[in-house]
Structure 1
């Protein structure tokens, strides 16, 4: 393999996935050598690599009962070069590089720990769903509350990792920077199935606006296709410390006619599955806002 091939093979994008491994240290070394970068986060039972706009999460599972055999799609610029490099490192060949009927080059390998890496070239992985010009729906979920707390205090509740995890789930992993993680863990499940793993901060204005990507619960077929949430804060009465909080959940795809047929052909969620996720969050977001009100000590009203 030439140096040029090696450079191209390291230009990798991943939406975000979790691989279970029996030996976390060995898996960390293997992926560090392939990705040519150090882990962004290292813990006793979990290691995270930042890959493109997503995360690769390695979770130790010595008993082999969690997520062993997980499969994820990796977008690369050179499928053949990446495939050869992975085989050199000890991966097992499953499907050799070839061009599919859709003109997309692909290949499939297994890492030494039993997890599948689906390599694709010239095709994006699932990410934030369509922008409006490409078929995004105009529908949105909107929830507004008037909260008896100063805007600074409400902002802190949404952006401080420890506090956010205390009222909106069991725990959280948040970094307030564009592209930073915005992960809230609601369930006591294996990593990757606990909550909003793989979600990111999209933009923010200090104490005024926060937007982040969002995903559905693990049991929804729409789980891998992210939507967007915008939280806006403003003062109602700065003397009495009353704030207005408006939450808007948008980014829902429009799946009518041709778009629905394309989604069905590609294996993406259909219109009924998206409708079910939309209905789920119509019920869930008011409950989240009520939890925030209780956490902050009360409310002055809502709409």
Structure 2
């Protein structure tokens, strides 16, 4: 896995021994997203459709991405959506008019191997955002590890669970 951060763009890459279509479905079908990312997911794979994750099932007031939308969808190539950070960063990054953007790109390496690239943009450079950026570096690393694990071994680890 590679992690880079320059000019407040977070980029993480993971390659997995899984066909492209299965990786795509893992990101675009609600039931599959809930196997490796958040226990409750509402994903409608179309531009303008929801990309909502509920890290505490049933909690619609905290620890979720309620209201986030898919902004770009290119079948088996790219998924882009707005993003809300966890509750501890809500006051800096969860205002509806200033959400960050997550772009997930999918590349077929061969028929049984897929490369996933996550680019998270919109982080501001002031000091208040530093912890949010670091937290998301850790979180996206865990998310991609969980995706790889669930697809290759059938064992996902849901992200960002409350203690």
Task: Output the TM-score relative to the length of structure 1.
Answer: 0.45
State how far apart, in whole Å, the 2-side matches of 1:252 and 1:278 are.
7
Higher relative contact order (CA 8 A, sep 6+): 2
Aligned residues: 144
Quick check: 1:237 aligned with 2:131?
Answer: no
State the match for 2:38 in structure 1: 169
Matched, 1:290 2:140: no
Q: How far did 1:286 drift?
A: 0.5
Asked if the contact 1:188/1:194 (under 8 Å) is kept, the reply is no
Given that residues 54 and 60 in structure 2 are in contact (C-alpha distance below 8 angstroms), is that contact kept between their aligned partners in structure 1? no
Matches within 5 A, 1:78-157: 138-157=7-26
Q: 2:128 aligns with which of 273, 277, 287?
A: 273
Mapped pair 1:190 → 2:95 = no
Cα distance in 1 for partners of 2:109, 2:43 equals 28
Between the aligned partners of 1:274 and 1:234, the Cα distance in structure 2 is 30
Q: TM-score, normalised by structure 2?
A: 0.82
Extract structure 1 runs of 4+ deviating beyond 4 A.
none
- Provide the residue aligned with 1:250 in structure 2: 121
Match of 1:276, SS state, is: helix
Could you say what secondary structure the match of 2:35 adopts? helix
Shift of 1:158: 0.2
Mapped partners of 1:253, 1:272: distance in 2: 9
1:245-283 superposed Cα distances (whole Å, 9 cap, x missing partner): 1111112234xxxxxxxxxxxxxxxx2221111111011
- C-alpha RMSD over aligned residues: 1.6
Aligned equivalents of 1:171, 1:188: Cα separation in 2:
6
From the CA coordinates, give the structure whose radius of gyration is larger.
1
Summarize deviations over 1:163-217 as a string: whole Å, max 9, x none: 1022101110111111111001112463121311111101011001000000111
Matched, 1:227 2:100: yes
SS of the residue corresponding to residue 117 of structure 2 reads strand
